[in-house]
């Protein structure tokens, strides 16, 4: 089979987009369902904060350590094979977690689940740009982001209901069923990428010479460092993720300690971020036009990064818990804008055969930023008040985003079409 490319499509394959988005919903739902169930299980067993942190690190670490290997696999192995094998691995990991009772076994099961998730997510992300023409790329990215966000938003709520109703064991098995459903969607996606290239030629009549194709010119492997625009956007997204992860650690102490609010209020506030992301994904998908330059998209992403950090400053400044709600809604909208804009840039600027490596390269840096944020949030909280930490995260992130904006504008102005200097083919 051959690599798919949005430039070679006559019309977008919205049926495949719907199936991939359904898989993103089920994957996000199952991942958060199982993770929250394991956190609650550890809490019920009297686990310490360090043990819970180890669980979170086990979830994020494979995305960082295996990034390059996963990128290589996604670009060279049939996407259907990867989605089926990794999806079955996710389901088996959840079944094993259903029987796990000891801390080390739980962490090991989560680690195995995360290794498989590190394969499925970049595979779907690399597949999506090949399903639509260039003009529809932002819209398709918004649909995928929305589906994944709904799954991640529903997962924790469903986990709370199931753990309280049927227990952590059955909750993990429900997650396994969801992952098995993603395996079914892999067979429903008609478009495939990766694997060995195949060339289909028409049969020529006898005696008619077939023109010989020119010899292939070796092309150096794609690297993130070759594209200044994507590189700056990636580091900006990494900085935002670092700040957001630190805020996630601090928020519960700020809401329930500093502001003296209830767990129910904290739960509502925490969910507002995902609500904002649902709205933001659609807003950005509707506003990006085909003629919008890559430089303009990158500039919008940096402005959205600044808006996320400004929302954190607003959170740190409030004295009533409910005032965090509008701040989190704004932050969620801006977060979704960053995700859709960066996904659109990757689809536009990265060659089809390198999209797996590109998604893995970006993902491993962003997840590394998240890990650093989790650690910094916990460490700084031991020497500073929650309000001070929130304000510091917002102000530092805002300064970084503002500092990166001129670099993005310069990179987009020097070469508004492609980072490698080639013109972008028309859809």
pLDDT in tens, 49-89: 567 667 777 887 887 788 778 888 888 889 899 999 999 99
**Domains and their CATH numbers in the chain:** 1-196 (1.20.1250.20), 223-416 (1.20.1250.20)
- 195: confidence class by pLDDT, cuts 50, 70, 90: low
Those residues with Cβ within 8 angstroms of residue 100's Cβ, 6 or more apart along the chain or in another chain: 106, 108, 109
Phi-psi region at 413: left, alpha or beta (left = phi > 0; alpha = psi -120 to 50): alpha
Is the pLDDT confidence value at 209 over 60?
no
Q: 191: part of which helix (H) or strand (E)? A: none
Instruction: Using a pLDDT cut of 70, give the percent of the chain over it.
Output: 84
Q: What letters, b where the CB count within 10 A reaches 16 and e where it falls short, cover 7-44?
A: eebeebbeebbbbbbbbbbbbbbbbbbbbbbbbbbbee
DSSP string for residues in 202-254: PPPPTTPPPPPPPPPPP-PPP-GGG-HHHHHHHHHHHHHHHHHHHHHHHHHHI
Contact 70, 122 (CB under 8 A): yes
- For 301-350, the pLDDT digits (tens) are 889 989 999 999 999 999 998 999 999 999 999 988 888 888 888 878 88
Query: Which SS3 state, helix, strand or coil, does residue 289 take?
Result: coil
Distance of alpha carbon 106 from the chain centroid: 24
The answer to whether residues 390 and 247 touch, using CB atoms and an 8 Å cutoff, is yes
3-state secondary structure 100-111: CCCHHHHHHHHH
Do the beta carbons of residue 36 and residue 160 sit within 8 Å? yes
Contact 256, 321 (CB under 8 A): no
Q: In 140-199, where do the E strands start and end?
A: none
At residue 201 the predicted structure's pLDDT band, cuts being 50, 70 and 90, is: very low
């Amino acid at each position: 089979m051959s690599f798919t490319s949005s430039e070679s499509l006559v019309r977008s394959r919205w049926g495949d987009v719907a199936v991939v988005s359904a898989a993103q919903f089920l994957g996000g739902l199952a991942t958060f369902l199982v993770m929250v169930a394991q956190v609650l299980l550890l809490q019920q067993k009297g686990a310490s904060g360090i043990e819970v942190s180890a669980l979170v690190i086990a979830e994020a670490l494979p995305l960082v350590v295996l990034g390059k290997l996963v990128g290589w696999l996604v670009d060279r192995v049939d996407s259907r094979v990867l989605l089926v094998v990794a999806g079955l691995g996710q389901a088996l990991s959840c079944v094993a977690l259903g029987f796990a009772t000891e801390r080390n076994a739980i962490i090991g099961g989560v680690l195995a689940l995360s290794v498989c998730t590190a394969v499925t997510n970049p595979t779907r992300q690399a597949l999506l740009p090949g399903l639509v023409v260039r003009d529809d790329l932002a819209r398709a990215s918004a649909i995928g982001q929305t589906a994944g966000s709904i799954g991640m938003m529903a997962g924790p709520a469903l986990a709370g209901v199931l753990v309280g109703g049927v227990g952590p064991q059955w909750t993990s098995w429900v997650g396994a069923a969801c992952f098995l459903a993603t395996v079914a969607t892999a067979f429903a996606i008609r478009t495939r990428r990766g694997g060995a290239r195949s060339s289909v030629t028409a049969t020529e009549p006898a005696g008619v010479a077939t023109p010989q194709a020119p010899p292939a010119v070796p092309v150096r492997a794609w690297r993130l460092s070759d594209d200044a625009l994507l590189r700056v956007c990636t580091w900006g997204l990494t900085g935002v993720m670092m700040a957001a992860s630190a805020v996630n650690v601090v928020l519960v102490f700020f809401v329930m300690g500093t502001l003296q609010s209830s767990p129910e209020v904290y739960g509502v506030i925490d969910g507002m971020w995902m609500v904002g992301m649902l709205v933001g994904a659609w807003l950005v998908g509707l506003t990006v036009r085909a003629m919008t330059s890559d430089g303009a998209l990158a500039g919008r992403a940096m402005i959205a990064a600044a808006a996320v950090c400004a929302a954190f400053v607003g959170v740190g400044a409030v004295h009533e818990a409910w005032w965090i709600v509008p701040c989190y809604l704004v932050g969620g909208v801006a977060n979704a804008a960053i995700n859709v804009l960066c996904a659109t840039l990757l689809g536009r600027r990265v060659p089809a055969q390198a999209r797996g490596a590109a998604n893995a390269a970006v993902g491993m840096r962003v997840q590394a930023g998240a890990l650093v944020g989790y650690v910094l949030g916990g460490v700084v909280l031991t020497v500073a008040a929650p309000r001070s930490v929130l304000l510091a995260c917002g102000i530092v992130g805002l300064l970084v985003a503002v500092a990166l904006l001129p670099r993005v504008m310069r990179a987009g102005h020097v070469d508004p079409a492609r980072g490698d200097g080639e013109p972008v083919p028309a859809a």
